[in-house]
Every structure is written in C-alpha cells, then in structure tokens.
Amino acid sequence: MTTQTTTRSLAGTQIYPIGLGAMPMSLAGRPDEAQSIRTIHAALDAGANLIDTADAYCRDESEVGHNERLIAKAIRDRRDGVIVATKGGHTRPGGDWDLDGSPAHLRAACEASLRALETDRIDLYQYHRPDPRVPYAESVGALKELQDEGKIRWIGLSNVNVEQLEEALGIAEIVAIQNQLSLEFTSPLTKGEVQAATERGIAFLPWSPLGGIGNAESPGGVNPVKQAAERHGVSPQQVALAWLLSLGPTVIPIPGASRPETITDSLKAARLELMPEELEAIAEAAGA
C-alpha cells in the first residue's frame, strides 16, 4: 500500500495534499457567485488550504481579476492559514489567451492582483507562461524585484521546462512549479519535470489533473482506474488524483471545481491508499 501523508510542504508551509483550482468559477459557463463561494467554502471546510487562481481567469479583458476578487470575497472572514496562489503573464484580449512577460506588465499585473486579492503581499506569485518575446531571465527578474519589495512572499513558475527552471533558480528562489499533468498528459514525467521538482524539494502543482474542464468525467478513460475505483468504493477522479500524489512527495494536484460536491469528493483522494500493483497498472495504461 502507498502511504499518503496528511500534509505536504510548500516552502516549508504545511499544505493539504490537494488544492482547489478556481478557474472553472470564472470562465464562460461559470456558476453564479453564490455557488462559487459555496464551492470555495466547501474546499476550506474539508481541509484544503491552497487555492490556485490567476488574474487571467475571467471571460475577457473587461473583467481581469474576476477569479481573484471572487476568492478574496469568499475568504474575507477566514483568511488565516489559507495560501492563495495567483499568476501573471497572460492577457485576455477578446477572450483569447495572449502573453505579456515584460517586466512592466508583470509589475502592473502583480499590483492589480494585490488589489483584487485585498492583500499587501501575495502568498505565491507564479509566472503564468514563458513569453517567447521576452528573455526568461527578465521576466523572472521582475518577480524577484517584486519579492524584494515585499509584494510577493514566494515565487512559482508555470508551464516551465527543466532548462527554464534551472535558469530561474540562478535568479531567485523558486518554491513551486505548475505544469499540466494528468493520466491524459504525462509528459512532465518523461521530460523530468516532476523529478526536477522532487530532487529540489520544489512543490509540483499538476494543472488540469483530471484532464481539464469538460473532460473530467472519466479520467484517462483508463480501465485500471475504473477497477481501482470500484475496489475502493470511490470515484475514478479520486483514483486519478491518488495516482498523481504517488508520483512524488512534493506533488500537490489542484483539481478545478465549480460545485461543492466535486471538490469535496476530490479532496478525499488525499486519504486514498492505492496498492503498488494498482498504481503500476494505471501508469502502464496511461503510458506513463
């Protein structure tokens, strides 16, 4: 049996092994605000203490910061011990996803996130995605400056490869990387990204850990997942998340949710112990 620990570490802070991905509460098709707030409260009530957001989680440029404002409102009276991880570097012109990794943009975005999150220091600020028009070192250097000014507690990187991580580590302390990882998307395993995080004690936050919005119904479509779910009497989503947790001691998946039921179910995966032969069968079927 694998042994899931009760908490994992992010920069030395104890984190429930699974966080809440808040993106589905702000994109097109989002629920009303009351349901979103119930979803955030359900996650906190179940023990989660990490919420992932971004300034770009909104419908378009007219409402940048929508998701951050929603989270700030939901946790206004219960902020203690809650780590909010946000991101900058994406823009949403006309609802598209564009990039701006320039130091000037990152500074303005961070300052807007501080206001949206109703805080004077962001817990974890992640550079959302490398902008090919801006040298990576310049973008990371901008985050380091914001950290030196006290506006950011910790720096994280998203959609980053091992080479970029190493370059960034020469500039600043990096405490988390956030890349796509699921039964459907396993390249961080073959490209050594999970291993690089594990070896350095850096948290690895898999995004779209259930295959992404609209695809989470049957994670991986992988039979061993269904079989393990039936054997343990849990949802296949819990099995998918437990498999992710088995990939490294610093892995902290951030399943998205827009309903209390789904996040409450997902968070139970932290207590699910899969047998080595189940994990092997799942990995093999996923091609991992």
Q: Which residues bind ligand NAP (CB under 6 A)?
A: 21-24, 52, 158-159, 178, 207-213, 216, 235, 237, 254-259, 262, 265-266
Write down the residue that tokens 């699921």 correspond to: 182
For residue 81, the minimal CB distance to ligand NAP (Å) is 19
**Measuring CA to CA, which residue among 104, 170, 89 is closest to residue 137?**
170
Nearer to ligand NAP, 51 or 172 (CB): 51
Nearer to ligand NAP, 42 or 276 (CB): 42
- Please say if 57 is a catalytic residue: yes
Which pair of tokens denotes residue 43? 């996650």
Nearer to ligand NAP, 79 or 259 (CB): 259
For residue 142, the minimal CB distance to ligand NAP (Å) is 18
For residue 90, the minimal CB distance to ligand NAP (Å) is 8
16, 57, 127, 136: the catalytic one is 57
What gap in Å lies between CA 241 and CA 253, rounded to an integer?
7
Nearer to ligand NAP, 150 or 214 (CB): 214
Q: What one-character-per-residue DSSP string does the chain give? A: -----S-EEETTEEE-SS-EE-GGGTSTT---HHHHHHHHHHHHHTT--EEE--TT-SSSGGGTTHHHHHHHHHHTT--TT-EEEEEESEE-GGG--EE---HHHHHHHHHHHHHHTT-SSEEEEEE-S--TTS-HHHHHHHHHHHHHTTSEEEEEEES--HHHHHHHHTTS-EEEEEEE-SSS--HHHHTTHHHHHHHHT-EEEEESTTSSTT-TTSGGG-HHHHHHHHHHTS-HHHHHHHHHHTT-TTB----B-SSHHHHHHHHGGGG----HHHHHHHHHHHT-
For residue 17, the minimal CB distance to ligand NAP (Å) is 15
Nearer to ligand NAP, 24 or 65 (CB): 24
**Measuring CA to CA, which residue among 105, 11, 103, 104 is closest to residue 56?**
105
Q: Nearest to ligand NAP by Cβ — which residue? A: 256
For residue 128, the minimal CB distance to ligand NAP (Å) is 6
For residue 177, the minimal CB distance to ligand NAP (Å) is 10
Q: Which residues are catalytic?
A: 57
